[in-house]
Structure 1
Amino acid sequence: MKKRGLISDLAEATAFLTRLPVPERLFYQEHSGSDASWAFPLAAVLAVLPSAALLLLISTIGGSTALSVFLALCLYVLVTGALHEDGLADCADGLFGGKSKENVLAIMKDSRIGTYGVLALVFSVGLRLIALSHLAGSSGTGFAVGALICGASAGRALMLAHWSFIPPAKKDGAAAALGQPVLSTLLSGLFAPFLLLALLAVLTNSIPAVSLAVLASGVAAFMFSRFANRRIGGHTGDTLGATAQIGECVFLATLAIFL
């Protein structure tokens, strides 16, 4: 065990958000909870790097763009354990299928998936597949890889904001037990995605498109947060995952529309 710091927070965030093996010696002796959440956007970069490498590899050997993007997304889901996709599906079933707060939360807790959940997953995978394939064709595979990495990091930053600004829906839930990120944690978490987005925009001369994509994803995450707060009175682990998925999908789709 080691003293809490950047490495231990990143290790905790990576273990929480992915299936990547993290050496025990990197962890602090006690879980940091929400204090380590500033590292979520960095952990997302680690999670998506294998997919970015696969996308570049298949492109280099002349493989199909659509197939390479699809395989990259499959690997991405495997690395994250479909954590956020599960949250998105549960939220779709609960928020659109439930009536009272208690009914919504019960549906979200149910491991079975319904029509709304299936459709949400189809839309999520489909949007990312089409958007990244378009970006690879119109702006090059390098740009698509950059967009994939930035989208993953930005989605987790929006998840962090969702977690910070609305209260837990269940006082005895898993999300509530972790606590809520304070403002300094949120601001620290925004640094990595801001830097990545700035690099993508400047190096590819796409500042207007990237700026619009960031704005659109932020608005979408804000609207979802208001909707969840109105329906169930706050956030849950599922709404955190759904926010990341929504932000990532809207970011990539907006880029594809304007490039």
Structure 2
Amino acid sequence: MEPKHFESLYPGDSRFNEIEKILGFIRNGNSCQLISFPGTGRSNVLNLLSYNRSVREKHLGENQKHLHFAYMDFSEVKNRSLFDVYKFILLSLTDSLLDRGLKEEHDKLHRIFAEHVKYNDDLVFFQGIKEAVNYLALEKKLTIVFLFDKFEKYLPNLTDEFFASLRILRNKAKYRFSTVFSLDRPLEDSLDPLQFVQFYEFLAGNDVFVSVYDVPGINFRRSYFEKKFNKNLSEQDFKNIVELTAGHGRLTRVVLETVFAEQTFPK
């Protein structure tokens, strides 16, 4: 049976350079932008941080237990109100605690959610998010990292109030709060600078570009398909596939799966 999160199976050195750069910004209490073309591995990087203990230990050692990453796919709220986005953020944060085995913390945030959602007001509900972040960061001494995947999907509905809210959370938690924005282009190329001026100082110049080809990740995919289909792929066939796709994550995965399923090898 496969695990709940496939990225938990990847080797610890997957996406090493991208993750090391992200963690460098987080260590300094800053946020950053993870930028690439679609399909090259942005979601993979964020899911590795969220669900792969080996990756976290590779970079952080025992300190990995002091950082908590909450993954959120913003394509799920691309046309939703700010109130809905607030609910999505707190629900995602709450669920992520259970994924890490933090039941006490999960139950506490679940009660905070239930207490504040009944008022059906975004201002009141944001007080619940502040309470949750304060509890985790100041009482439990966790560094909270929001991982906003596919954030470009939400940009048409974005208001400056969103970044003002992030600024408030950062001011409360200080160096124990960061955000990673996954985007197909930098925010400054898509938004009026005034929209995110309140959070700009924590983002300025903090760009991480995703490489097209991640050798450990692609090698893992090959090994995974070889075991799944009980077939071996020759080095020459594997080389042909990588040359065909340039190591592009999504394309290489699709070609590998097709090759193993149909036993048709590219020349």
Which structure is larger by alpha-carbon Rg, 1 or 2?
A: 2
Regarding TM over 0.5, the answer is no
Quick check: which one's helix share is greater?
1
Structure 1-normalised TM-score? 0.30
Structure 2-normalised TM-score? 0.29
